[in-house]
């Protein structure tokens, strides 16, 4: 593209004004064609083709970036000369353009100005607007899903297709192959994928947590009399994926009750939608799975809710929004817009008064494909537990995008504890590389939300203290562990 008003401001032979009588090739070409009665636009191209000397004078700026740079330079140079073309051209002619540029650069921070202006402009220009975002049909993905019917993606200029995925392994593979631009994942997955645990290693980043809490342990109706985990020896449990909070929380929970999750019970990987059918068939005695399949088991009169995971660890992270580092780097503006829409949607989902409306928006076939009352019970926290009670737990599931580094460290300690990763682990470094809390905080601030001032904190999980500064000691403090 050629921008007539964007001639090199350091070239004394070129006018920046193009007023009547301007001698630059573009202007003369334009005048010629007007005299011949042709359309100026078509003729401009023709002139560029026929008159070779015009190529020397009117350069073509290759990228939008170059155009932006030139516009900024031009503005600065013009203002230095009080917008007088004559003094600019005579001064530069005297000094030579290179010297003048260096001289100007020494008193005015040109590069910094360019960077600052482009930064503020960058929110506007998206590299890619049509995106594919994968999700597994569970309520943890609520912000990712509801952003589609409720217009959060559109608000940030994106045309996102949210694509239902059959399970986490497929979501992982489709993310690794870049078939998905970004995807709903489990919080441990980007850590595992970045380290190459259970897949090929590819750097993934997790700029937002989707939900906190929101899971439950469900048992088959036959086990209503076995509410003490110590009676669970020989039980078959389902979890949705190996690298999941579900797996780590179930292991933690039974181990705290003295059961070894690897020998005393059996843990099977079952995709969430298949949980209820397996429970009914007696293939599972219980599961720790995402909703709505806990509530669905109650609705189908197959099982009851034994405990909500919020009672194991209040405020634990669960699912995440993640993408490859490559996507974020090659499409920084699109990535920014996507992140803004997700964080905005997550905050919208966090408000209890919006939950009913969201339940209706995400229930149809295109999204969760579940009965509205089931989703509503999960999101509003007023639910039947299958034991004859109506419980009222408003924060049964909650939404908070901030990816605490300490959560990453905790997940890594459990991966190490159960032998999913071996050897020396640099806990904080990996957590900080994958959980990009800084970007989240920036976007949160921009959208008017208050991000936490720190990225690490300690947790108390089932009465046991987790100190993020001492991960190895924490692992060794457990009686039941693999390493």
The 3-state DSSP class for residue 207 equals strand
Q: 171 or 195, CB closer to other proteins?
A: 171
Q: 366 or 426, CB closer to other proteins?
A: 366
Taking the complex as a whole, the smallest distance from the CB of residue 154 to other proteins amounts, in Å, to: 14
Q: 301 or 454, CB closer to other proteins?
A: 301
Q: 11 or 278, CB closer to other proteins?
A: 278
Q: 200 or 263, CB closer to other proteins?
A: 200
Q: 162 or 475, CB closer to other proteins?
A: 162
Q: Which two tokens stand for residue 23?
A: 């001698």
DSSP category for residue 179: S
- Tokens 């999960």 correspond to 378
Task: Provide DSSP, 264-322.
Answer: TSEEEE--GGGHHHHHHTTS-SEEEEETTHHHHHHHTTSEEEEEEGGGTSTT-B-EEEE
Q: How many CB atoms lie within 10 A of CB 448?
A: 8
Chain residues in the site for other proteins (CB under 8 A): 137, 161-166, 169-170, 173-174, 176-179, 200, 273-274, 276-277, 280, 296, 298-302, 364-367, 369-371, 373-374, 377, 382-384, 386, 388-390
Taking the complex as a whole, the smallest distance from the CB of residue 171 to other proteins amounts, in Å, to: 9
Residue 7 phi, psi dihedral angles, 5° rounding: -65, 155
- CA torsion sign for 205, 211, 212, 217 is negative
Taking the complex as a whole, the smallest distance from the CB of residue 376 to other proteins amounts, in Å, to: 9
Task: Using DSSP bridges, classify how beta strands 130-135 and 159-164 pair: parallel, antiparallel or unpaired.
Answer: parallel
Report the alpha-carbon distance of residue 334 to residue 206 in Å, rounded.
15
Taking the complex as a whole, the smallest distance from the CB of residue 185 to other proteins amounts, in Å, to: 15
Taking the complex as a whole, the smallest distance from the CB of residue 333 to other proteins amounts, in Å, to: 24
Taking the complex as a whole, the smallest distance from the CB of residue 278 to other proteins amounts, in Å, to: 12
Q: How far is CA 371 from CA 325, 368, 377, in A?
A: 37, 9, 10
The 3-state DSSP class for residue 391 equals strand
Taking the complex as a whole, the smallest distance from the CB of residue 18 to other proteins amounts, in Å, to: 50
Report the alpha-carbon distance of residue 300 to residue 462 in Å, rounded.
30
Q: 121 or 178, CB closer to other proteins?
A: 178
Q: 131 or 245, CB closer to other proteins?
A: 131
Q: 157 or 371, CB closer to other proteins?
A: 371
Q: Which two tokens stand for residue 121?
A: 């402009």
The answer to whether 333 and 340 have CB atoms below 8 angstroms apart is no
Q: 204 or 468, CB closer to other proteins?
A: 204
Taking the complex as a whole, the smallest distance from the CB of residue 190 to other proteins amounts, in Å, to: 19
Q: 1 or 178, CB closer to other proteins?
A: 178
Taking the complex as a whole, the smallest distance from the CB of residue 344 to other proteins amounts, in Å, to: 21
Check whether the bond before 167 is cis (ω within 30° of 0).
no
Taking the complex as a whole, the smallest distance from the CB of residue 296 to other proteins amounts, in Å, to: 7
DSSP category for residue 178: T
- CA torsion sign for 111, 115, 118, 120 is negative
Taking the complex as a whole, the smallest distance from the CB of residue 241 to other proteins amounts, in Å, to: 15
246-269 as b/e: b if 16+ CB within 10 A: bbbbbbbbbbbeebebeebbebee
Report the alpha-carbon distance of residue 336 to residue 228 in Å, rounded.
47
């Amino acid at each position: 593209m050629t921008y007539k008003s964007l001639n090199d401001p350091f070239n004394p032979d070129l006018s920046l004004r193009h007023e009547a009588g301007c001698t630059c090739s573009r202007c003369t070409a334009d005048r010629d064609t007007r005299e011949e009665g042709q359309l100026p636009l078509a003729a401009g191209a023709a002139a560029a083709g026929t008159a070779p000397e015009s190529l020397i004078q009117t350069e073509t700026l290759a990228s939008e970036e170059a155009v932006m740079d030139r516009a900024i330079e031009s503005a600065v140079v013009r203002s230095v000369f009080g917008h007088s073309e004559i003094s600019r051209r005579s001064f530069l002619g005297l000094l030579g353009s290179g010297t003048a540029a260096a001289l100007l650069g020494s008193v005015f921070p040109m590069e910094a100005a360019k960077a600052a202006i482009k930064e503020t402009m960058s929110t506007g220009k998206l590299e890619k607007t049509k995106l594919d975002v994968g999700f597994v049909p569970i309520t943890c993905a609520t912000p990712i899903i509801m952003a589609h019917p409720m217009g959060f993606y559109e608000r940030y200029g994106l045309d996102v297709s949210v694509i239902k995925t059959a399970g986490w392994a497929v979501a992982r593979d489709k993310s690794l192959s870049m078939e998905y631009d970004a995807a709903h994942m489990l919080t441990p997955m980007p850590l595992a994928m970045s380290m190459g645990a259970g897949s090929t290693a590819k750097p993934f980043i997790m700029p937002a947590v989707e939900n906190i809490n929101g899971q439950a342990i469900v048992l088959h109706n036959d086990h209503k009399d076995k509410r003490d985990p110590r009676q669970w020896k020989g039980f078959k449990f389902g979890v949705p994926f190996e690298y999941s909070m579900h797996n780590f929380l179930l292991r933690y929970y039974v181990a705290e009750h003295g059961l070894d999750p690897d020998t005393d019970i059996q843990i099977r990987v079952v995709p969430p939608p298949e949980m209820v059918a397996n429970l009914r068939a007696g293939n599972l005695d219980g599961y720790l799975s995402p909703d709505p399949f806990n509530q669905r088991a109650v609705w189908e009169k197959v099982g009851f809710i034994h405990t909500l995971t919020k009672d194991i660890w209040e405020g634990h992270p669960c699912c995440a929004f993640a993408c490859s580092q490559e996507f974020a780097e090659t499409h920084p503006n699109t990535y920014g817009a996507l992140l803004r829409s997700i964080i905005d949607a997550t905050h919208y989902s966090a408000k209890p008064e919006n939950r009913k409306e969201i339940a209706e928006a995400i229930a149809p076939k295109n999204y969760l494909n579940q009965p509205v009352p089931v989703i509503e019970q999960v999101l509003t926290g007023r639910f039947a537990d299958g034991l004859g009670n109506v419980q009222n737990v408003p924060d049964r599931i909650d939404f908070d995008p901030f990816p605490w580094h300490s959560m990453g460290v905790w997940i890594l300690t459990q991966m190490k504890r159960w032998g999913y990763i071996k050897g020396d682990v640099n806990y904080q470094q990996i957590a900080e590389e994958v959980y990009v809390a800084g970007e989240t905080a920036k976007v949160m601030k921009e959208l008017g939300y208050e991000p936490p001032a720190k990225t690490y904190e300690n947790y108390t999980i089932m009465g046991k203290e987790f100190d993020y500064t001492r991960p190895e000691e924490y692992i060794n403090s457990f009686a039941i562990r693999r390493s």
